[in-house]
Amino acid sequence: MTESTTRCGFVAIIGAPNAGKSTLVNQLVGTKVSIVTQKVQTTRFPVRGIALHDDCQMILVDTPGIFKPRRRLDRAMVKSAWSGAEDADCIVLLVDAAAQLAVKHPNADTKATGADHKAVEDVDMIVKGLQDNNAKAILALNKIDLMKSENLLAIADDLYKTGVFEDVLMISAEKGHGVKDLRALLEKKMPEGPWLYPADQAADAPVRILAAEITREKLFLRVHEELPYAAAVVTTKFEDKPDGSARIEQTIFVERDSQRSIVLGKNGQTLKWIGMKSREELGKLLDRQVHLFLHVQVEEKWSEDRALYAQFGLEYES
């Protein structure tokens, strides 16, 4: 393969929280590089998944969801998302089609929830941001497996009229429907040039951060109803053992003692489950035995820690 025949570029996947961005990135890459949970705003830093097909390498930036920020951490996440879009060769706006239908076409079969209204507000805000920056994007209507085709056409028409979309595709990131068509379209838009990563590399996030994200996913999967967005996971030690195994130590930060009790669970059973599930996935990711040790620490202002922002590649604003 020569340099002149290869293509390589960056694709920013943007959207409202919980639109399915992480699921889409995982589908395009063909392996898991970004966490997927029921909670919104779980992606805190741009995970670059690396998708290969024939002579094309696409670096997929799974940005945090774009939403109206309230805290410093929120502002850093939104700024990171817009930065990822500005630096990309191509932008994909992923939209939860079901939420759009429920809010903008109330006579349809679905009833709008508060989350639906929030998702539509966020999409409108993103579209306005694209318009203000004279940016063009691909519109990917997600979760089509939950909808009728005539409803999808109405939603696509509503959004296409905004003038910011070059192409419109209908997909199901979870089921994989339409993802091949999206990949083919993105490949055509990538500039010619040499690959930036080896062919066997699926992501460029340091393994310490990927390990922390996997544990954070298991944490939210287990306690997503009880625990708000008041937790972070940091890998404090990563050691290669002489027998080829890995010893990983991680700290789960929460803001209050009551949250620590939730994470621990009765007789430590919740933390034990989180550790077991995370250890299993880390073993598959690293292709070796993993010894994982979790510690839960109460730190009321962990979200104000500059070092944590630096780990996630976020900008700390005073």
Q: Which residues are annotated as a binding site for GTP?
A: 15-22, 62-66, 142-145
184, 2 in Cβ contact below 8 A? no
Residue with tokens 């820690």: 305
Q: Rg of the chain's alpha carbons, rounded to an integer?
A: 20
Q: Which residues are annotated as a binding site?
A: 15-22, 62-66, 142-145
Alpha-carbon gap, residue 37 to 15, rounded angstroms: 16
123, 16 in Cβ contact below 8 A? yes
Token readout for 141 is: 């209507």
Alpha-carbon gap, residue 30 to 24, rounded angstroms: 10
> Which residues in 296-313 are b (16+ Cβ under 10 Å) and which e?
beeeeebbebeebbebbb
